[in-house]
Amino acid sequence: MIRFTVRFLLLPPLALALSACGERGSSAPPSSAAATALERASAVSQPEGWEDDLKIAPAQDLNPDPHVLEVNLEAKPAELEILPGKKTTVWTYNGQLPGPLLRAQVGDRVIVHFKNSLPVATTIHWHGLRVSNEMDGSPGITQPPVEPGGEFRYEFVLRDAGTYWYHPHVDSAVEVGRGLYGPIVVDDPKDPKSFGDDLVLVLSDMSLDDDGQPLPDDNGGQFGVLFGREGSTLLVNGRVLPHLKVRTGKQQRWRVINAARARYFNLRLPGHRFERLGGDNGLAARSEDVYSIVVSPGERTDAVFTPADPPGSHKVLQWVPFDRGYGSTFNRPREDLLAIDTVDAPPVTPEAIPETLRAIEPIDVSGAKEQRLAFTIAIDGKSVVMGFNGKAYEHAQPLEARLGETQVWDLVNDTDFAHPFHLHGYFFQVLDDTRVPEWKDTVSVPSKSEMKIAVKFDERPGMWMYHCHILEHADAGMMGHLHVIDPSAPESASASPSTHMHMTSHAEPTYAAPTDAGPAPADPDGAP
Ligand code: C2O
Ligand code: CU
Ligand code: CU
């Protein structure tokens, strides 16, 4: 089924164009009578240099095999200009903020030679990718932390098309907050061209003083932990208020990644709506007409943006306060995020976006084991202790699942804040008929609400993590383990590592022997 972007009927120049193009597919001859007929969006390219201000350099591919992306990633401090004329010391991958774009096709293999040139230990976690357990980057769980000067080789297959990202999993509020994050795009060559040209938008924030130096990591003390730290400087692809050039009617597929520690991004552009295509695990079941793009920390949203302003206009995509609980919108203005300049070129007729995008079978939850997970916050003397079911990470027993089992997790949030819940290793479905069906790895559970998610632990046994993606909350204990047990495996392989290990612990548990990441099941359309 095809849905046309109805909003254009309200815009005089395009309304004209659409009525002029009543007979679709018959291209008008270049006669004077047809001079008012507009070209189709697919027939023109984006304006020259449209994304120059937003480019994220890809990582250099060292492997001649077209289906293997082999890259070096080095975590290291770098001096970058974020505020005009000021040098800021940030932590980067390969000296870039955000880190290099990792882009390949679904089914391709990725090999990362990682080197840690930071003064502290770190790991890389591949947020949302279905990697095998020992590639997950969970320190003390799936691998030892990579010490300063140390190296680690990651290897996995990109099994699912979509927009993902990578970031450290040690002391993550600090390390991500200082700039360690990068985008991953897994292309599906079957995606319709009508979605438009891809634009990756990595959203984040930082708190900088007047000299451009980052404020201390513990800025705001325990209040910073309780609220989560929102930096005062908003960043799009590591830049402050970059410019994007667009042409009226010429579509772009925005791949929006929220890499901030705590900030929710609620994006609006006056006079525009967006066609949401999906999020965490690629396309949703249907496209959805939305007036704002809301992305909680860790989440992704893919949406088609159809510029609708007349040629020569200038507008700004705004960050709009989003109510993520106690005081989070109080007295806060909207903020400018991305300047959008519509070039002086004739408008084009936008392409139709299909309404049906992908078949998403609901997970069969009959007889599924239920587990209740309540987000909990306690004030213990002067410090804030967070957790699930009243237990901070280091004191909690792992949840258990047997390989092949389906479970329903009841996420209960009685706290005063919304929490973006994230599960490693598996995609889940939110059991809520009001939502367009899609596969998720991160979902915001609003304050004073409850949400059920269904997960099938169909493969890749091991010890996985789940946590709130407000990274201060995770570091304060709102995090847990999930042990997916393979009953047929020998005792040692399914034995759990110590559950009393803090994220930064340097103790040495035994790690599962690396297994081949496996060939990609050629199933980009089906359920993961
Ligand atoms: Cu993006 Cu465990 O996190
Ligand atoms: Cu993750
Ligand atoms: Cu939280």
Res 150 pLDDT > 70:
yes
Close Cβ partners of 359 (under 8 Å, ≥ 6 residues apart)? 285, 525, 526
Question: Which pLDDT score is estimated for 491?
Answer: 61
Buried b (16+ CB within 10 A) or exposed e, 24-35: eeeeeeeeeeee
Q: What is the mean pLDDT of residues 158-172?
A: 98
User: 410 near 374, Cβ under 8 Å?
Assistant: no
Instruction: Determine the Cα–Cα distance for residues 81 and 183; give it in Å rounded to an integer.
Output: 20
Res 339 pLDDT > 90:
yes
- Protein residue with its CA nearest to atom 3 in ligand 1: 127
User: 261 near 228, Cβ under 8 Å?
Assistant: yes
| Residues at CB less than 6 angstroms from ligand 1 | 125, 127, 167, 169, 298, 422, 424, 465, 467, 469
pLDDT in tens, 235-259: 999 999 999 999 999 999 999 999 9
pLDDT in tens, 444-461: 999 999 999 999 999 999
Question: Which pLDDT score is estimated for 516?
Answer: 43
Joined tokens for residue 198 = 């891809």
Backbone angles phi, psi at 315, to 5 degrees: -140, 170
Residue type (1 letter), 479: M
Question: What is the position in ligand 1's atom list of the atom closest to the CA of 138?
Answer: 2
Res 385 pLDDT > 80:
yes
Cα 413 to averaged position of ligand 3 atoms, centre (Å): 10
Joined tokens for residue 232 = 């005062």
Percent of the chain with pLDDT over 90: 82
Joined tokens for residue 205 = 């924030």
Q: What is the mean pLDDT of residues 177-190?
A: 97
Res 104 pLDDT > 80:
yes
Cα 126 to averaged position of ligand 2 atoms, centre (Å): 6
Question: Which pLDDT score is estimated for 383?
Answer: 86
Res 13 pLDDT > 60:
no
Cα 390 to averaged position of ligand 1 atoms, centre (Å): 21
Question: What is the position in ligand 1's atom list of the atom closest to the CA of 298?
Answer: 1
Among 428, 407, 283, 255, residue whose Cα is nearest residue 356: 283
Work out the pLDDT band at 331, boundaries 50, 70, 90.
confident
